[in-house]
Amino acid sequence: MGLLTFKKGVHPPDMKLLSKDKKIERLTPPKILYFPVAQHIGAPAKTIVKKGDPVKVGQLIAEAVGFVSANIFSSVSGTVKGIEDRLNFLGTKTSMIVIENDEKYEKTEFTLLTDLQSANIVNKVKEGGIVGLGGATFPTHVKLSPPKDKPIDTVIINGAECEPYLTSDYRLMLEQPQKVVEGLKILMKALGATKGYIGIESNKPDVLKKMHELCEKESEIETVALKTKYPQGGEKQLIYAILKRKVPAGGLPMAVGVVVQNSGTAAAIYDLLKEGKPLYERIITITGNGVNEPKNFLVPLGTPINYLIEKAGGLKENAAKIIMGGPMMGFAITDLTIPAQKGTSGIVVFTDKEVYGEDYDVCIRCNKCIDVCPMDLAPYQYALLGENERYLEAKDWNVLDCIECGSCVYICPSKRPMVQFIKLEKAAITAEMKKEKKK
Ligand code: SF4
Ligand code: SF4
């Protein structure tokens, strides 16, 4: 089979060489850790510990509120030092539980799930605080609970890792591929799906080979090679590439009988169900030409970014910009005390030569953004409307279908900040829709 792919997209340099050969290192936790109660899509969790409380590794410290929410666990043992409103990666303040590490690493008792029935799996995944680790942070138990009229026949594991620079999924799939395969089997069981795919970009031939060997005898699971192209890991792009099914505008993958999960999420489900470990640590890539020793770390969640950078040899003198996540969809951060959280897949540090200023030019109507938009939108229009603060009109241009992949910004010769305006437009439209609903 040739390389599978979707229509349009871009080809940024993958820059994975910097960290791809760095084995996953378990990071010794710092003395003080910060746990935001909002580190997933949905309602923030409710803090259930107070200042002075002792905690253990894997202890529940904030409880999910409602269905679309997720539990939060301590990654160290120690004492709760307080609950503080602190800056998060979005530049807004979030309530965070501050824990002082006693360096004893006493663990809570974990209960293993022996009866792998669908309902039990979904409940356990909810209990374990599992969310999409590719960056979306959507609570996984919600994806595992489709309505009865939307049966799921296929689960796709996103092993594309199409964001340049990032290698955390690559290292996971290379070093612990069985966790991903076993996690996929659990997901298929939970959903009653009969077919599973692991989609991997062609720039990871060693992972493709390993996964292929591992799945050879699994008749229901197939490893597929995807073209190296951005955003190959987008849910809708992945479904089209592998199954040639088109998710309708405004619809979810379940509309075409599919659930997509990131490879890290599949491994986290394995860790939870087979090793009894809730989600309190994850693999994070620290990389970029602005950092001295790029690394792939297994990070206790709550660890501040400056500690991660220090453990990666520190910043180079010409370091100029730090991105949380990948360069295409990540967020520039300035406060390095922000903690690593469930959705943090990487930290990328750019040098002064690699960053360009905030200035941008007028639209020259070159159509390049239209040519690359994987959702068949007209990105130039979002910047034009945004500049004139006509945010609500973007709805008529289907802005809600935008997956914020940044391909349009990448290709634009005028460096117009489409995604920045798209976020503003989506926020304004959502607020308006809520107002209408109330009426
Ligand atoms: S790529 Fe940039 S300059 Fe070209 S049409 Fe789109 S917004 Fe305008
Ligand atoms: S408009 Fe949205 S989906 Fe299209 S290229 Fe730009 S960011 Fe990606």
Q: Is 142 helix (H, G, I), strand (E, B) or coil?
A: helix
Indicate whether 63 belongs to any domain. no
Indicate whether 60 belongs to any domain. no
Q: In which band, very low, low, confident or very high, does the pLDDT at 263 lie, cut at 50, 70 and 90? A: very high
Ligand 2 centroid distance, CA of 348 (Å): 22
pLDDT value, residue 176: 98
Instruction: Please compute the mean of the pLDDT values over residues 247-257 and round it to a whole number.
Output: 93
pLDDT value, residue 170: 98
Please calculate the CA angle 396-241-222 and round it to the nearest 5 degrees. 145
User: Same structural domain for residues 185 and 298?
Assistant: yes
Look up residue 329 and give its two tokens: 């969809």
CATH of residue 244's domain is 3.40.50.11540
User: Same structural domain for residues 338 and 431?
Assistant: no
User: Same structural domain for residues 350 and 391?
Assistant: no
Whole-number Å distance between alpha carbons of 80 and 56? 10
Cβ partners under 8 Å of residue 278, min gap 6: 58, 60, 71, 73, 110, 127, 128, 129, 272
Report the domain count for the chain. 2
User: Same structural domain for residues 240 and 348?
Assistant: yes
Q: Indicate if ligand 1 lies below 6 Å from the C-beta of 416.
A: yes
Digit-coded pLDDT (tens) for 67-80 = 999 999 999 999 99
User: Same structural domain for residues 8 and 118?
Assistant: yes
Domain boundary among 324, 355, 386: 355
Indicate whether 231 belongs to any domain. yes
Indicate whether 409 belongs to any domain. yes
Place of tokens 């945010």: 391
- The residues facing 315 across adjacent strands are 291
pLDDT value, residue 439: 78
C-beta of residue 241 within 8 angstroms of C-beta of residue 150:
no
Where residue 250 falls (left for φ over 0; alpha for ψ -120 to 50; beta otherwise) is left
Q: In which band, very low, low, confident or very high, does the pLDDT at 112 lie, cut at 50, 70 and 90? A: confident
Whole-number Å distance between alpha carbons of 3 and 291? 34
Residue 390 backbone dihedrals phi, psi, to 5 degrees: -100, 55
Digit-coded pLDDT (tens) for 340-397 = 999 999 999 999 999 877 789 999 999 999 999 999 999 999 999 999 999 999 999 9
pLDDT value, residue 119: 74
Whole-number Å distance between alpha carbons of 426 and 138? 18
Which 3-state string (H, E, C) describes 30-96? Answer: CCEEEEECCCCCCCCCEECCCCCCEECECCEEEECCCCCCCCEECCCCEEEEEEEEEECCCCCEEEE
Ligand 2 centroid distance, CA of 409 (Å): 8
Q: In which band, very low, low, confident or very high, does the pLDDT at 158 lie, cut at 50, 70 and 90? A: very high
Instruction: Please compute the mean of the pLDDT values over residues 305-322 and round it to a whole number.
Output: 97
Indicate whether 57 belongs to any domain. no
pLDDT value, residue 89: 86
Domain boundary among 355, 383, 405: 355
Looking from the CA of residue 379, the nearest atom of ligand 2 is: 1
Indicate whether 336 belongs to any domain. yes
Domain boundary among 323, 355, 387: 355
Indicate whether 251 belongs to any domain. yes
pLDDT value, residue 1: 60
Instruction: Please compute the mean of the pLDDT values over residues 240-261 and round it to a whole number.
Output: 95
Ligand 1 centroid distance, CA of 390 (Å): 18
User: Same structural domain for residues 307 and 387?
Assistant: no
Whole-number Å distance between alpha carbons of 379 and 375? 10
Look up residue 317 and give its two tokens: 């003198």
pLDDT value, residue 194: 97
Look up residue 394 and give its two tokens: 């973007």
Ligand lying closest to the C-alpha of residue 380: 1
Instruction: Please compute the mean of the pLDDT values over residues 37-48 and round it to a whole number.
Output: 94
Instruction: Please compute the mean of the pLDDT values over residues 201-213 and round it to a whole number.
Output: 96
* Of 425 and 434, the one with more pLDDT: 425
- The residues facing 351 across adjacent strands are 319
Q: In which band, very low, low, confident or very high, does the pLDDT at 225 lie, cut at 50, 70 and 90? A: very high
Looking from the CA of residue 401, the nearest atom of ligand 2 is: 3
Instruction: Please compute the mean of the pLDDT values over residues 311-323 and round it to a whole number.
Output: 97
User: Same structural domain for residues 165 and 278?
Assistant: yes
Q: CB count, 10 Å around CB of 141?
A: 24
138 is in which domain, residue-wise? 1-26+114-355
pLDDT at 300 over 90: yes
Q: In which band, very low, low, confident or very high, does the pLDDT at 109 lie, cut at 50, 70 and 90? A: confident
Looking from the CA of residue 372, the nearest atom of ligand 2 is: 5
User: Same structural domain for residues 331 and 382?
Assistant: no
User: Same structural domain for residues 379 and 405?
Assistant: yes
Q: Would you call 228 exposed, middle or buried from its count of C-beta atoms within 10 A (0-12, 13-18, 19+)?
A: middle
Ligand 2 centroid distance, CA of 419 (Å): 7
Look up residue 28 and give its two tokens: 């010794």
pLDDT value, residue 60: 97
Whole-number Å distance between alpha carbons of 39 and 197? 28
pLDDT at 186 over 80: yes
Q: Is 195 helix (H, G, I), strand (E, B) or coil?
A: strand
User: Same structural domain for residues 274 and 198?
Assistant: yes
Indicate whether 419 belongs to any domain. yes
User: Same structural domain for residues 414 and 346?
Assistant: no
